[in-house]
């Protein structure tokens, strides 16, 4: 302790105003911060977890039990807690889940380590044990994972497990099919899955149970001409990136005319440029649609002025302007066809096709549905709900659900859920501890004991007795069964048979992160306020 006091006094000598926390205090500060964060989030874990209400300065409400949303929206003052929160949200950005679990495991890890440190064990010894335990845990995870063919039923189980921890069971089951269908639609063999090709569209309408998967695209705007058809069946889709409006010249120029005829000529020549483009489009429409009952829809990324809209409407063409750039990409994947930057050489093979294009008006907002498409590679999840916070809650859950299915498809394996991995890992690490020599055993023991926090808190959130549940699980596992917690009855059950499956990469990243964060916090022996003081308060230099 003398060395620490000397260091502290050395810092005080350099800067008499510095705020320094000594070794014993620093460890307590870190442990308390981790446990404080754990106390806040522990009630959210699992399908039986409770919900937090976040209210911002303007009175806007957000209801959520998603750890990532909570940690990014909460105001966290404590520097240690803030650091743990940032590390946990990084887990969500990489894998899409496991944020709450990381917070709980880090809190429990420091709590277990503190028991040994308070008896005089050096933190460095414990972190060596953590490192050994981490390597052994990751090796055990490779043997514990279950490689399966990624069929639709299995992916539904993965999505349901992820969604039920974010939303109530009925809504989660309703969203499960939508999320799996969306990922299977955009999946291409041998290529990474691009989740941006799933458009998530919000519509404040009816109830949350009306949220559905649309095999096609939903655009958040409609035709700008009142007489254009509101419903087109069996339509050709032409995607354009061409300006169909009169544009001012880039150079400042002025024109002088001496008679009304000259003015008429000027207006006519200004329009001629746009009219030529329109003529080509109308001729092309007649060429492909005449003699058939097919419709013709133009979706343009740039503007279309009222006169052009009028010409298109008279020729039976439905035109939408100012579509999002990302939607132009999605449209080609959903309907087929190729987006055009010019109207000069239009041929039939650059057209996409949709069985039904219709407009849905909701208050002042218009939505255009492009449905009944053949072999789409892009699709939409249409989120519905009665108010903004319901839509936000479902939106966060859908994002996590899509990531869970994507992870499972790319990993080609799953992990039994409901706390099964943690129970098995605890038993495995205790066996491994016997083969390790020296004081690092204590670190492995602390790591193994910390693992049990997940099944304990799952049981407590379901209103069960944690000790009874853990003892039953350990007895069943010792008898040679892979078991998780049944949150309805509290008795052990087989997660694979019940379809409770976790992502392999989430668990792998979680084990790695927990050990690294825990070790870093234990090795902090001094906290001091850093940064330069302002020069105003200091006198002239001697």
Q: In b/e form, how buried is each residue of 221-239, taking b as 16+ CB within 10 angstroms?
A: bbbbbeebbeebeebbbbb
Decide if 383 contacts 153 (C-beta within 8 A). Answer: no
- Residue 155: predicted pLDDT: 86
HSE toward the beta carbon, residue 453, CA cutoff 13 A: 27
- Residue 535: predicted pLDDT: 46
Nearest residue to 371 via CA among 491, 201, 530, 247: 201
Q: State the Cα–Cα distance between residues 186 and 337, nearest whole angstrom.
A: 17
Q: What residues contact residue 403 under an 8 Å CB cut-off, 6+ apart?
A: 95, 96, 97, 162, 195
Q: State the Cα–Cα distance between residues 425 and 473, nearest whole angstrom.
A: 12
- Residue 10: predicted pLDDT: 54
- Residue 505: predicted pLDDT: 85
**pLDDT by residue for the chain (542 residues), tens digit each?**
444 444 445 555 555 555 555 556 777 888 888 888 888 888 888 788 788 888 877 888 878 777 788 887 777 887 888 888 888 888 888 877 788 888 888 888 888 888 888 888 888 888 888 888 888 888 888 888 888 877 888 888 888 888 888 888 888 888 888 888 888 888 888 788 888 888 888 888 888 787 888 888 888 877 777 778 788 888 888 888 887 777 666 667 676 777 888 777 777 777 777 778 888 888 888 888 877 778 888 888 888 888 888 888 888 888 888 887 777 888 888 888 888 887 777 788 888 888 888 888 877 788 888 888 887 888 888 888 888 878 888 888 888 888 888 888 888 888 888 888 888 888 888 888 888 788 888 888 888 888 888 888 888 888 888 888 888 888 888 888 788 888 788 788 888 888 888 888 888 888 888 888 888 888 877 766 665 554 445 444 44
Nearest residue to 352 via CA among 296, 436, 290: 296
- Residue 17: predicted pLDDT: 56
């Amino acid at each position: 302790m003398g060395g620490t006091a000397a260091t502290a006094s050395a810092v005080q000598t350099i800067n008499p105003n510095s705020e320094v926390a000594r070794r014993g205090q620093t460890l307590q500060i870190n442990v308390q911060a981790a446990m404080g964060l754990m106390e806040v989030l522990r009630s959210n874990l699992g399908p039986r977890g409770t919900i937090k209400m976040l209210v911002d300065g303007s009175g806007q409400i957000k209801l959520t039990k998603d750890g990532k949303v909570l940690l990014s929206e909460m105001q966290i003052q404590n520097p240690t807690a803030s650091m743990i929160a940032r590390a946990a949200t990084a887990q969500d950005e990489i894998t899409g889940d496991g944020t709450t679990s990381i917070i709980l495991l880090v809190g429990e890890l420091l709590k277990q380590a503190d028991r040994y440190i308070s008896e005089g064990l050096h933190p460095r010894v414990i972190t060596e044990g953590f490192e050994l335990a981490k390597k052994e845990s990751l090796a055990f995870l490779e043997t514990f994972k279950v490689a399966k063919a990624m069929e639709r039923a299995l992916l539904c189980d993965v999505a349901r497990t992820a969604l039920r921890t974010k939303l109530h069971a009925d809504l989660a089951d309703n969203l499960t099919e939508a999320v799996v269908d969306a990922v299977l639609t955009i999946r291409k063999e041998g290529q990474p899955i691009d989740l941006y090709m799933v458009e998530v569209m919000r519509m404040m309408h009816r109830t949350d149970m009306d949220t559905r998967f649309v095999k096609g695209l939903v655009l958040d705007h409609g035709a700008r001409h009142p007489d254009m058809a509101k419903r087109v069946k069996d339509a050709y889709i032409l995607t354009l990136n061409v300006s169909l409006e009169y544009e001012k010249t880039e150079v400042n120029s002025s024109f002088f005319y001496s008679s009304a005829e000259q003015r008429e000529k000027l207006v006519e020549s200004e329009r001629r440029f746009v009219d030529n483009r329109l003529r080509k489009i109308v001729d092309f429409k007649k060429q492909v649609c005449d003699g058939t009952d097919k419709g013709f829809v133009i979706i343009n990324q740039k503007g279309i002025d009222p006169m052009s809209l009028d010409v298109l409407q008279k020729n039976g063409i439905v035109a939408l302007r100012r579509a999002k750039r990302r939607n132009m990409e999605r449209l080609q994947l959903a309907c087929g066809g190729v987006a055009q930057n010019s109207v000069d050489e239009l041929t039939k093979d650059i057209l996409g096709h949709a069985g039904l294009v219709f407009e849905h008006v909701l208050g002042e907002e218009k939505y255009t549905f492009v449905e009944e498409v053949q072999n789409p590679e892009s699709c939409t999840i249409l989120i519905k709900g009665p108010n903004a916070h319901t839509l936000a809650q479902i939106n966060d859950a859908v994002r996590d659900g899509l990531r869970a299915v994507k992870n499972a498809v790319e990993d080609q394996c799953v992990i039994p859920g409901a706390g099964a991995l943690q129970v098995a890992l605890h038993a495995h690490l205790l066996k491994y501890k016997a083969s390790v020599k020296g004081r690092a055993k204590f670190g492995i023991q602390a790591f193994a004991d910390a693992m049990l926090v997940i099944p304990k808190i799952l049981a407590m959130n379901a209103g069960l007795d944690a000790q009874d549940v853990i003892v039953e699980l350990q007895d069943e596992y010792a008898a040679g069964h892979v078991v998780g917690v049944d949150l309805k009855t509290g008795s052990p059950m087989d997660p694979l048979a019940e379809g409770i499956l976790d992502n392999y990469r989430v668990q792998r990243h979680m084990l790695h992160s927990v050990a690294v964060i825990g070790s870093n916090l234990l090795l902090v022996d001094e906290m001091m306020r850093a940064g330069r003081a302002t020069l105003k308060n200091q006198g002239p230099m001697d």
